[in-house]
Amino acid sequence: MGPPLSGPLSRRDAGLDERHAARSWAGAEGALRALTAAASAAMVGCVVVIFVALALATLDGRTVGSTILSTTWSPALGSYGLLPLTFGTLVASLLGVLVAAPVGVLAAIWIVELAPPWVSGPARALVDVIATLPGVMFGLWGRTVVVPFVRDHLAPANDAGPSAGFGLVTAGIVLGAMILPTITALACGALGGVPASLREAAVALGGQRWDVIRHAVLPVARAGLWGAVAIGLARALAESLAVEMVCGSNPLWPRSLFAPFSTLGAVLVDETVDATRVDHIAALAGAAVWLCVLVVPVMLVGRRLLRPREPAESARVERAA
Amino acid sequence: MTADDLRYKRRRPSGVIMTALSVASVGALALTIVALALPFMQPPDLSPQTLSVVENALSGSAIIVVLALLGGVPTGVLVGVGVAEGGGATARLARAASDVLAAVPPIVVGFVVYATVVLAVHGGSTAAGAVAIGCLVAPAVCRATLEQLAATPASLRDAAVALGGTRARVVAFVLVRSIAPDLVRAVSRTTARAVGAGAPLLFVTAAVAGSGDVADASRVAALPTAAFWLASAPGVDAGARANTVALVLVLVVAGLGVLGRRRRGPR
Amino acid sequence: MSGAAEAKVATTSLSAHHGAVEAVRGVTMQVARLEVTAIVGPAGAGKSTFLRCLNRLHETKPGARVEGRVVIDGVDIYHPEVDPAALRRRIGMVFDRPQPLPGLSIGENVLAGYRLAGERAERPDGVVEATLRRVDLWDEVKDRLSRPAAVLAAGEQQRLCIARCLALKPEVLLLDEPCSGLDPIATARVEEVLNELRRQLTIVLVTQSLSQAARVADTTAFFHEGELIEHDRTDVVFRNPRDPRTENYLTGRFG
């Protein structure tokens, strides 16, 4: 070791450091900070503008606010009951998720854990790309393929008429098909994030294939798999165009699972451009707020679950060391 | 150890059942993907009228998405860098805002942009559309930046700082550069989603269902909204034209999606 | 060197590939019953791959290929009628980084092998205690058996992983650089456990540490570029290496 660091020397060091910091603060560092601050402000500004605008518009409609719990959404009557729309949004999405979640997760398990590598890679690529396809394409598909299919093969005869084939079941099928690739792609990511060494340890202990999946892979991937399902659900709840194209646009209580209905997103699509009265715009803004209340928490929880939990891991290593 | 100890044990039924279920699920997934191609089985409508709609919608989408990327990508990267490197209350707030913005349903963004920009300011459809799509781009880029900065080994940062780099230089020349290839792929994926996003643009772009020309210069067509309006339009040929527009849309989105594929690495 | 008749594990012209790379080249080697055999050699010598051929773990990697014969107790373990999962239950393996199974408590991790096979141990509490005593971990963890295994220090986790293998009553224990992530004190405790276990089961230890091989191994094998260069009693290899490559490695001239 050299001479002991005396007081003056360390102080001189600190002085050097401060000058250095000051110079860089005035230069590139300052510019970077200013830019990031501006970008942050823009990001926060967007969110604030969205919710302030929605809040202001919604407040305009307080005279008809008492009608939101009614079962009638009718701008002509000045009644804006959100219940049938909420029902339509939730039921159509749940129908889709109930099918897409188990199928998506099991398909992801096959792709990641069971398929030979030359299948697994291309399959993941295909699913990733399908998962980015836009909702409007699924709506178009629903209208040209699913609606005739439901009309001809599934719907009971007493639901015949020009709107036959449009309904909750059709929307559930379209939403299920839309979120199935999403759930599969995210589930593949969650399963692929499980360390290979853990799988190997379980194989070395003599586990058969599904024992290894169940005891070594799924415990680690579980949160991510739930995240994948949550994001699929959020995407289904938030979808507007695809549902609008197959729901039949009936904002009242649907007669059956095969009868026309509407959702919060679909009613925004249908009525926004034609809305001129203040109370109507306010009601649509209210529907938009209510849709955010349904979707945003599910999406945030899903994202949180999908995030790899590095901090816990490193904390454990530190404690172990 | 004897040979009998090591002879094949019968697979337990639970494993056999699970394998069967997962194979069936993959079959269902494959069937869905095949079914999605059904509307595109008929030959596309290539009449001059349709092609003019496609051309209009394509150029409209291109302008809107490029503007949205110009605004959204720097914003997203800067917020991501600010959160990862700076920290502090502002950064946390910006990150929360980014997360919430990413979670807001696209149709709600479209509604707000319509209600504020279009109704209040009267016009500026291209700019309004770019703002709406930018609200989708910025949070996605921000999250990608954060994820990749988090995956950057701390030793890289330490080494750069130890070489005497200032914070700004380390961030700009070492960290951002090290994540740049991944970031480009993430932007490509985000662009794919931005091109396909119809709901935010629905009320600010014109319905081109009827004529295919955009008479009102302040209103712009875009691929997803053109497909949507055409599909809802009356007339026998509207459906075929909607399919043609949708086919172009799917090709563009899938192409960008393939470009943005994650590299298959050891992770 | 032990005679072939006593060998617990015998390989004949064993070669192993990762894709196009031949990591192990025609290794013929006998591992003596109830002894500790160390495998040393520079990085990339094929030590780990060789070890992973002995419990048929190598073949689970994409692109992996194995040629030659591995015979344990007279049974060719690559015979088509041999169930790899059943084989791996009889041959314990410990890795360079401890891998307790996630979401399981300390006690459950000891019994993880049973759980993985969908079985239940007879008198599970007795198995847990007896097994943890064999790895000298019982007194440290007996009051927190239901805590997650992640709360243990790295060295304790590694001994837990040894216990998890022992609970299945294996006849062979394979260790792949088990102390590479451990500090000297934790390393010493793992070596104490290995010393306790010698004469009870056959142990094959891959190690980067020559001193560890000298401390615990009855015989030592030197691998170089996928080949077995020499294999003899440890003191013989260390004092009188026959091959110049062994001598160079032992004296630090390459590797």
Judged by DSSP in three states, C13 sits in strand
Rounded distance, CA A269 to CA B202, Å? Answer: 8
> What confidence category does residue B203 fall into, taking pLDDT thresholds of 50, 70 and 90?
confident
Amino acid at A9: L
Mean pLDDT on C235-247: 92
> What confidence category does residue A5 fall into, taking pLDDT thresholds of 50, 70 and 90?
very low
Mean pLDDT on C154-180: 94
Rounded distance, CA C103 to CA C100, Å? Answer: 9
Which pLDDT belongs to residue B202? 86
Give chain B's radius of gyration (CA, Å).
Answer: 24
Give chain C's radius of gyration (CA, Å).
Answer: 18
Closest Cα in chain B to C74: B2
Q: How much is the mean pLDDT over chain C? A: 91
Secondary structure element (H or E) that encloses residue C50, with its range: helix C47-54
- Does residue B8 sit at the C interface (CB-CB below 8 Å)? yes
Which pLDDT belongs to residue B66? 96
> What confidence category does residue B216 fall into, taking pLDDT thresholds of 50, 70 and 90?
very low
pLDDT digits (tens, 9 = 90+) for A154-166: 877 766 677 788 9
Rounded distance, CA A109 to CA A103, Å? Answer: 10
Q: How much is the mean pLDDT over chain A? A: 85
> What confidence category does residue A15 fall into, taking pLDDT thresholds of 50, 70 and 90?
very low
High-pLDDT (> 70) share of chain A, %: 86
Rounded distance, CA B19 to CA B40, Å? Answer: 33
> What confidence category does residue B220 fall into, taking pLDDT thresholds of 50, 70 and 90?
low
> What confidence category does residue B134 fall into, taking pLDDT thresholds of 50, 70 and 90?
very high
Secondary structure element (H or E) that encloses residue A314, with its range: helix A310-320
Which pLDDT belongs to residue B236? 67
| Residues in chain B within 8 Å Cβ distance of C90 | 1, 5-6
- Tell me which residue in C93, C116, C151 faces A215 most closely, judged by beta carbons: C116
Which is more confident, B121 or A320?
Answer: B121
Q: Is the pLDDT of residue A313 over 50?
A: no
Instruction: Taking the CA atoms of B109, B114, B115 and B117 in sequence, report the sign of the dihedral they define.
Output: positive
Rounded distance, CA B133 to CA A288, Å? Answer: 18
- Does residue C33 sit at the B interface (CB-CB below 8 Å)? no
CA A134 to chain centre: 14
Which pLDDT belongs to residue C254? 58
Contact assessment for residue B243 and residue B175, using Cβ atoms and an 8 Å cutoff = no
Name the minimum distance, in Å, from the CA of B190 to any CA of chain A: 9
pLDDT digits (tens, 9 = 90+) for B242-263: 889 999 999 999 999 988 876 5
A57-71, B174-188, C75-89: which range is least confident on average?
A57-71
Q: Is the pLDDT of residue A63 over 50?
A: yes
Contact assessment for residue C182 and residue C213, using Cβ atoms and an 8 Å cutoff = no
Contact assessment for residue C155 and residue C188, using Cβ atoms and an 8 Å cutoff = no
Size of interface A-C (CB pairs under 8 A): 82
Contact assessment for residue C115 and residue A215, using Cβ atoms and an 8 Å cutoff = yes
Mean pLDDT on C113-126: 86
Closest Cα in chain C to B13: C118
* β-bridge pairing C36-40 and C219-224: parallel
Q: Is the pLDDT of residue B6 over 90?
A: no
Q: Is the pLDDT of residue C22 over 90?
A: yes
Q: Report which of B179, B119, C67 is spatially closest to residue A273, judged by C-alpha positions.
A: B119
What ipTM does the predicted assembly reach?
0.89
Q: Cβ–Cβ of C73/B2 closer than 8 Å?
A: yes
Rounded distance, CA B205 to CA B198, Å? Answer: 10
Contact assessment for residue A140 and residue A245, using Cβ atoms and an 8 Å cutoff = yes
Name the minimum distance, in Å, from the CA of B3 to any CA of chain C: 6
Which is more confident, A287 or B266?
Answer: A287
Compute φ and ψ for C221, nearest 5 degrees.
Answer: -115, 135
All residues at 6 or more sequence positions from B229 whose CB lies less than 8 Å from its CB, including other chains:
B207, B208, B209
Q: Is the pLDDT of residue B138 over 70?
A: yes
Which pLDDT belongs to residue A309? 61
Amino acid at C85: A
Q: Report which of A224, A90, A186, A50 is spatially closest to residue B100, judged by C-alpha positions.
A: A50
Partner A, chain C 137-176, Cβ-Cβ below 8 Å: 150-154, 157, 161, 164-165, 168
Q: Cβ–Cβ of C83/B3 closer than 8 Å?
A: no
pLDDT digits (tens, 9 = 90+) for B149-183: 888 887 887 777 777 777 777 777 788 888 888 99
> What confidence category does residue A2 fall into, taking pLDDT thresholds of 50, 70 and 90?
very low
CA C161 to chain centre: 11
Name the minimum distance, in Å, from the CA of A78 to any CA of chain B: 20
Mean pLDDT on C106-110: 93
Q: Is C44 exposed, middle or buried (0-12, 13-18, 19+ CB in 10 A)?
A: middle
Q: Which letter, b or e, does each residue of A272-304 get, where b requires 16 or more Cβ atoms within 10 Å of its Cβ?
A: beebeeebbbbbbbbbbbbbbebbbebbbbbbe
> What confidence category does residue A4 fall into, taking pLDDT thresholds of 50, 70 and 90?
very low
Q: Is the pLDDT of residue C46 over 60?
A: yes
> What confidence category does residue C10 fall into, taking pLDDT thresholds of 50, 70 and 90?
very high
> What confidence category does residue B212 fall into, taking pLDDT thresholds of 50, 70 and 90?
very low
> What confidence category does residue C126 fall into, taking pLDDT thresholds of 50, 70 and 90?
very high
pLDDT digits (tens, 9 = 90+) for B17-50: 999 999 999 999 999 999 999 888 888 888 888 8
Contact assessment for residue C251 and residue C239, using Cβ atoms and an 8 Å cutoff = no
The label of the residue with tokens 């260069």 reads C229
Strand partners for C65: C17
Rounded distance, CA B219 to CA B204, Å? Answer: 7
Which pLDDT belongs to residue B122? 63
- Does residue B11 sit at the C interface (CB-CB below 8 Å)? no
Rounded distance, CA A185 to CA A183, Å? Answer: 6
Please name each of the domains of chain B with its CATH number: 47-261 (1.10.3720.10)
Residue B197 CA neighbour count, 13 Å, CB half: 30
> What confidence category does residue C12 fall into, taking pLDDT thresholds of 50, 70 and 90?
very high
High-pLDDT (> 90) share of chain A, %: 57
Q: Is the pLDDT of residue C115 over 50?
A: yes
Q: Cβ–Cβ of C86/B6 closer than 8 Å?
A: yes
Q: Cβ–Cβ of A132/B254 closer than 8 Å?
A: yes
Q: What does the CA dihedral B252, B255, B259, B265 come to, rounded to 10 degrees?
A: 140
Which pLDDT belongs to residue A300? 96
